[in-house]
């Protein structure tokens, strides 16, 4: 079945505008500069997978009219707050779905942190008679990376990325790949990405090749010489990355992402 991808959010950890109504170099009158934290939905006629539940998760679901009944599972890239801290909004999904527990998936280190930080959402850590545990934790084991996985009727390949401060998980669905957050990619990741036609990739390092935890644009350009994606959407955009300015500066085949961008793949 064909897949519909929706960029729920394309902002970096601060979002745009950042707290204090800080737009930085971004034009506040350009609607595509208003960015919530990074997240993606992957949908076919029967299944919806969500990648990451950042602080803007509730608003993202409501904006895209994704209902509780739509959500099949959550995939996590890593456990940093800007990708996780909307997890409590899954409580509404749980109750609206008749108290059906929600499966979450991620690398062992990410799931370990999430289950410790939000212990009350899981069977093993919940000792409250009033609040139900509502999530099932599923570890993507190391041996499963680089191999096809299937949740319901959507198949994907998880792969490992270096985020500078931790390891994160990228995902490839057919000919579309999603890389958030990452500083560098090893040969295993590049082999998996090779041949992707659509690549959604973190370049929050922008013009700084020495950024500690995010790739810069030049690094992304070099990686795509090997990947050879026809269209590359730059995500994890900061207040210094104005949509129209970036659009004019990017080479052919590259474009800034924006919240609500929809991509259909066969």
pLDDT score recorded for residue 122: 96
Could you tell me the residue range of the domain that residue 195 belongs to?
A: 3-265
pTM: predicted TM-score of the whole model, two decimal places: 0.97
In the predicted model, what is the mean pLDDT of residues 17-35?
98
15 backbone φψ class: left, alpha, beta (φ>0; ψ -120 to 50): left
pLDDT per position as a tens digit, 123-181:
888 888 888 999 999 999 999 999 999 999 999 999 999 999 999 999 999 999 999 99
- How many domains does the structure of the chain reveal? 1
Q: What is the layout of strands, in order, in the sheet containing 167-173? A: 149-151, 154-162, 167-173, 176-179, 198-202, 231-235, 254-256
Query: Predicted confidence band at 257 (pLDDT cuts at 50, 70, 90)?
Result: very high
Query: Predicted confidence band at 74 (pLDDT cuts at 50, 70, 90)?
Result: very high
Q: What is the CATH number of the domain that holds 81?
A: 3.60.15.10
pLDDT score recorded for residue 127: 83
pLDDT per position as a tens digit, 179-196:
999 999 999 999 999 999
In the predicted model, what is the mean pLDDT of residues 200-216?
97
Helices (H), the chain: 57-63, 81-84, 90-96, 108-117, 187-193, 217-227, 243-249
In the predicted model, what is the mean pLDDT of residues 50-70?
98
């Amino acid at each position: 079945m064909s897949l519909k991808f929706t960029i729920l959010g394309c902002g970096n950890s601060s979002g745009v505008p950042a707290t204090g109504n800080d737009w930085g170099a971004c034009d506040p009158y350009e609607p595509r500069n208003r960015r919530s934290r990074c997240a993606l939905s992957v949908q076919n006629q029967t299944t919806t997978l969500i990648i990451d539940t950042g602080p803007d998760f509730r608003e993202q679901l409501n904006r895209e009219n994704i209902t509780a009944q739509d959500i099949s599972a959550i995939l996590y890239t890593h456990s940093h707050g800007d990708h996780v801290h909307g997890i409590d909004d899954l409580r509404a999904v749980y109750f609206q779905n008749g108290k059906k527990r929600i499966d979450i998936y991620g690398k062992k280190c990410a799931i370990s942190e999430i289950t410790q930080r939000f212990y009350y959402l899981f069977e093993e850590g919940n000792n409250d008679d009033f609040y139900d545990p509502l999530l099932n934790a599923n570890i993507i084991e190391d041996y499963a990376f680089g191999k096809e996985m299937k949740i319901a009727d959507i198949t994907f390949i998880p792969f490992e990325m270096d985020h500078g401060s931790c390891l994160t998980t990228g995902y490839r669905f057919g000919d579309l790949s999603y890389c958030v957050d990452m500083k560098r990619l090893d040969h295993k990741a590049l082999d998996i990405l090779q041949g992707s036609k659509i690549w959604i990739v973190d370049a929050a390092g922008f013009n700084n090749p020495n950024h500690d935890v995010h790739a810069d644009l030049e690094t992304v350009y070099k990686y795509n010489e090997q990947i050879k994606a026809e269209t590359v959407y730059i995500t994890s955009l900061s207040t210094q990355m104005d949509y129209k300015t970036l659009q004019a500066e990017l080479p052919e085949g590259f474009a800034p992402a924006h919240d609500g961008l929809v991509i259909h793949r066969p």
